[in-house]
Amino acid sequence: MKRRNFLGKVALGTMSGIIGSEIVFGASIPMDYLPIALQENDPFKMFSKDGEMVVLNDKPWNMEAKAHLLDDKITPNKSMFIRNNGLIPEKIDVQNWSLTIDGESVKQNKTYSLAELKTKFKRYTYQLTLECGGNGRSEFDPPAKGNQWTIGAVSCASWTGIRLKDVLADVGIKEDAIYIGYHGTDLHLTRDPKKEPISRGVPMYKALMDETLLAFQMNGKEIPLAHGYPLRLVAGGWPASVSGKWINRISVRNKEHDGEKMTGSSYRVPRNPVAPGEVVKESDMVIIESMPVKSLITFPKSGAMLNLGTKLNIRGHAWAGELEVAKVMYSIDFGATWRNCQLQSPANRLAWQHFSAGILFPKKGYYEVWAKAMDSRGTAQPMLVPGWNPKGYLNNACHRIAVKVL
Ligand X SMILES: Nc1nc2c(c(=O)[nH]1)N[C@H]1C(S)=C(S)[C@@H](COP(=O)(O)O)O[C@H]1N2
CB of 14 to Mo ion, least distance (A): 39
Query: Residue 198's binding partner, choosing from Mo ion, ligand X, none, with beta-carbon cut-off 5 to 8 A by kind?
Result: ligand X
User: Which C-beta is closer to Mo ion: that of 243 or that of 331?
Assistant: 243
The span from the first CA to the last CA of the chain, in angstroms, equals 50
Compute the least distance from the CB of residue 198 to ligand X, in Å: 5
Query: Of Mo ion, ligand X, none, which one sits near residue 391, judging by CB under 5 to 8 A according to partner kind?
Result: none
Among residues 115 and 286, whose Cβ is nearest to Mo ion? 286
Nearer to ligand X, 93 or 170 (CB): 93
Q: How far apart are CA 341 and CA 364, in angstroms?
A: 23
Specify the residue, 241 or 298, whose C-beta has the smaller distance to Mo ion: 241
Antiparallel, parallel or unpaired: β 82-83 and 61-64: antiparallel
Q: Are 394 and 144 in contact (CB under 8 A)?
A: no
**Of the listed pieces 129-137, 289-297, 334-342, 398-406, which binds Mo ion according to CB under 5 A?**
129-137
Is 233 a binder of Mo ion (CB under 5 A)? no
Distance separating alpha carbons of residues 167 and 153, to the nearest angstrom: 30
Cis omega (within 30 of 0) for bond into 239: no
Compare residues 38 and 87 and give the one whose CB is closer to ligand X: 87
Q: Which does 162 bind (CB under 5 to 8 A by kind): Mo ion, ligand X, none?
A: none
C-alpha of 87 from chain center: 17
| Distance of closest approach, residue 77 Cβ to ligand X, in angstroms | 10
Binding partner of 148, given ligand X, Mo ion, none, CB within 5-8 angstroms per partner class: none
Residues 6+ apart with CB under 8 A from 127: 74, 156, 157, 158, 159, 346, 347, 348, 350, 351, 352
Nearer to ligand X, 291 or 325 (CB): 291
- In the complex, minimum distance from the CB of residue 103 to ligand X, in angstroms, rounded to a whole number: 17
- 8 Å CB contact between 33 and 4: yes
Cβ 100 to ligand X, closest distance in Å?
A: 15
Residues that bind ligand X (CB under 6 A): 80-86, 130, 132, 155, 184, 186, 197-198, 227, 240-241, 243-246
CB of 86 to ligand X, least distance (A): 6
Closest residue to ligand X, judged by C-beta, is 184
| Shortest distance (Å) from residue 153 CB to Mo ion | 7
**Exposure letters 366-400 (e unless 16+ CB within 10 A, then b):** ebebbbbbbbeeeebbeeeebbbbbbbbbbbbbbb
Shorter beta-carbon distance to Mo ion: residue 83 or 245: 83
**Closer residue to Mo ion in complex, CB, 112/238:** 238
Which of the choices Mo ion, ligand X, none does residue 246 contact, using the CB cut-off of 5 to 8 A by kind? ligand X
**CA-to-CA distance for 216 and 224, rounded, in angstroms?**
10
Which of 81-89, 212-220, 251-259, 331-339 is the region at the interface with Mo ion (rule: CB under 5 A)? 81-89
Whole-angstrom distance, CA of residue 185 vs CA of residue 90? 9
Shortest spacing between CB 9 and ligand X, in angstroms: 38
Q: For residue 250, give the nearest of 113, 101, 62, 83 by alpha carbon.
A: 101
| Residue among 265 and 344 whose Cβ is closer to ligand X | 265
Q: Tell me whether the omega of the peptide bond preceding residue 142 falls within 30 degrees of 0, making it cis.
A: yes
Among 63, 106, 132, 398, binds Mo ion (CB under 5 A): 132
Restricting to residues 239-268, name those near Mo ion by CB under 5 A: 241
Least distance between ligand X and beta carbon 89 (Å): 9
| Residue 243 binds: one of ligand X, Mo ion, none (C-beta under 5 to 8 A by kind) | ligand X
- Is 173 a binding residue for Mo ion by CB under 5 A? The answer is no
Least distance between ligand X and beta carbon 203 (Å): 17
φ, ψ of residue 248 to 5 degrees: the values are: -130, 0
Distance of alpha carbon 155 from alpha carbon 79, whole angstroms: 8
The secondary structure of 343-385 as a DSSP string is EPPPSSTT--EEEEEEE--SSSEEEEEEEEEEETTS-B--SS-
Q: Does 83 interact with Mo ion (rule: CB under 5 A)?
A: yes
By CB atoms closer than 10 A (0-12, 13-18, 19+), residue 51 is: exposed
Binding site for Mo ion (CB under 5 A): 83, 132, 241
